[in-house]
């Protein structure tokens, strides 16, 4: 793996330039992953910026971003490679040679379909490989990943072992909905990302929504923080905080009253039960003269 960054400070500066404000822990983990040539496993709640970090690393390193989005039922054919069976069949039906000769012709590069893992291994350019939400995939997929994460290679029975032309910078994300295997974790460095501190989230909002009234930055982050402390089905993500700030700008909001919070709560909370909990706990119930702010 080529050295993408020269120091922790360089990581922090270049990620910031790419629009991602990292904590010291994040910048250190990214630097070490690149310096040691190890995949970086990132766990944390949904919406804390795990995927955005991978995008920012690619932008900061001027690298190609190849993404494997995991889901239940994803298999080798969608993650690694598969053969173009239709094209192979056409070749076989038009071939007059015996099977042994035909087999040598149809299991060649011409009929190989690259999927994200193989594409990242074979890419000669600087590459960031994002294996996103691995915890959503079946445990069998982890077995397929071990060779890629440990040795940066892929074994194809018909072609042999394909070793990375240029080792990619690998980031694996998980929302921790299930425990990942110890074998996979041994091959990775580990980083846990939680919701940012109020100070960091205010900085993120200022960077992403500079047109927001300066006086609203603190109460916006304070209300979102209060929502995250409630027992909600889905807490607001950082992206939803930014969307809410953009909403307030669009509405020309100057004062974050209860009525404004209540009428725009759908930007932050996506379940009716969460709306009811927030209205009760934050004192957002409608009243004839509702000009107060949330408690």
pLDDT tens profile 20-52: 999 999 999 999 999 999 999 999 999 999 999
- Output the furthest CA–CA distance in the chain (Å, rounded): 88
Same domain, 209 and 234: yes
Nearest to 144 by CA among 174, 115, 117: 117
Same domain, 72 and 148: yes
DSSP-assigned letters across all residues of 186-201: HTSEEEE--PPPHHHH
The residue segments making up the domain with residue 164 are 8-78+115-192
Domain membership of residue 293 (yes or no) is no
Distance CA 71, CA 137 (A): 5
Q: How confident is the model at residue 109 (pLDDT cuts 50, 70, 90)?
A: low
Q: How many domains does the chain fold into? A: 3
The tokens describing 38, both together, are 């190890």
Residue 100 has pLDDT above 80, yes or no: no
Which residues touch 191 (CB under 8 Å, ≥6 apart)? Answer: 25, 26, 29, 40, 41, 42, 43
pTM of the complete model:
0.84
**Partners of residue 65 on adjacent β-strands:** 128
Same domain, 97 and 167: no
Same domain, 36 and 88: no
pLDDT tens profile 150-190: 999 988 877 788 899 899 999 999 998 899 999 999 999 99
The whole-chain average pLDDT of the chain stands at 88
> What average pLDDT does this structure show over 271-291?
81
Q: What is the CATH number of the domain that holds 171?
A: 3.40.50.300
> What average pLDDT does this structure show over 208-214?
94
Write phi, then psi, for 257 (nearest 5 degrees): -80, 165
> What average pLDDT does this structure show over 124-152?
93
């Amino acid at each position: 793996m080529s050295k993408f960054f020269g120091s922790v400070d360089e990581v922090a500066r270049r990620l910031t330039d790419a629009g991602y404000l990292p904590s010291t822990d994040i910048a250190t983990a990214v630097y070490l992953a690149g310096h040691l040539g190890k995949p970086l496993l990132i766990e944390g709640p949904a919406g804390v910026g795990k995927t955005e970090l991978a995008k920012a690393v690619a932008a900061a390193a001027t690298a190609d971003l190849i993404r494997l989005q995991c889901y239940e039922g994803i298999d080798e054919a969608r993650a690694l490679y598969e053969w173009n069976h239709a094209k192979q069949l056409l070749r076989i039906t038009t071939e007059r040679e015996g099977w042994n000769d035909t087999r040598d012709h149809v299991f060649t590069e011409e009929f190989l379909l690259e999927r994200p893992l193989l594409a990242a291994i074979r890419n000669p350019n600087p590459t960031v490989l994002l294996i996103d939400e691995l915890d959503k995939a079946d445990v069998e997929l982890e077995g397929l990943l071990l060779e890629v994460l440990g040795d940066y290679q892929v074994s194809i029975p018909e072609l042999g072992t394909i070793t990375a032309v240029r080792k990619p910078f690998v980031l694996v994300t998980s929302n921790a909905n299930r425990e990942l295997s110890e074998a996979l974790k041994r091959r990775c460095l580990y980083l846990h990302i939680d919701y940012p501190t109020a100070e960091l989230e205010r900085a993120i909002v200022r960077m992403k929504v500079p047109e927001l009234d300066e006086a609203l930055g603190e109460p916006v982050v304070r209300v979102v923080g209060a929502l995250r402390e409630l027992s909600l089905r889905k807490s607001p993500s950082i992206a939803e905080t930014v969307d809410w700030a953009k909403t307030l700008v669009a509405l020309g909001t100057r004062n974050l009253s209860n009525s404004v919070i209540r009428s725009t709560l759908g930007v932050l909370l996506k379940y009716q039960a969460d709306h009811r909990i927030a209205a009760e706990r934050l004192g957002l119930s409608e009243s004839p003269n509702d000009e107060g702010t949330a408690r």
